[in-house]
Amino acid sequence: MNIIILAGGEGKRMGGVDKAAVAVDGRTLLDILLSQLDPEDDVVVVSPAIIDGITTVCEEPPLGGPVAGIEAGLNSFEHAHEFTAILAVDAPYSAAMLPLLQAQIGKADVAVTLAADGWVQPLCALWRSGSLEAVIHSLGETRNRPAKALLKQAGHIVEVGGDGTEKDYDTVAELEVLGNVTLPKAH
């Protein structure tokens, strides 16, 4: 499958740092997430930062929001696989949901994680690539659009109950439950 990892936010709630470079017990959030992926999958990280050894792209101009980032990621793939996953770097264990999402998608346009707290997690989702492309096209302008805007345009959505691995960590205090947190220098 194609996998888009969004890692290009401003990290305001973490003090303005590059969230992909935040480390827990010596491993960056990005490394934790990448270590869970199948090496056969095509992965792109959406970030204004250049990350050694990893395909990165960025929406132009940068900081255009999640939908603009997803569009940039989708447009960067050389091969269109049947499925495209969308994950966020601040949910470092979310790749564990991909097999469950794939098992549940059936004929739907998208399988999206419904977290234990009742929130739909559009940044822990598996799309049919053609459906994602069509939804992005139907939105027109993608800058400064929330990820949930994609779901509002989808025809058939399957919500899949999360197992806790989909949790995103927005603050240093939240991350500290995972281990010792080391922050990179602020942007």
Q: Residues 55-104: pLDDT tens digits?
A: 899 998 888 899 999 999 999 999 889 999 999 999 999 999 999 999 99
Mean pLDDT of 103-117: 95
End-to-end CA distance of the chain: 32
State the pTM of this model.
0.94
Residue 91 CA to residue 5 CA, distance in Å, equals: 10
Residue 131 CA to residue 10 CA, distance in Å, equals: 28
Question: Which three-class secondary structure state does DSSP give residue 16?
Answer: coil
- φ, ψ (nearest 5 deg) of residue 27: -115, 130
For residue 186, the model assigns a pLDDT of 66
Residues 6-62: pLDDT tens digits? 997 766 777 777 888 889 999 999 999 999 999 999 999 999 887 888 889 999 888
* Structural domains of the chain sorted by starting position, each given as residue range(s) with its CATH number in brackets: 2-182 (3.90.550.10)
**Token match 């010792």: residue?**
180
Mean per-residue pLDDT of the chain: 92
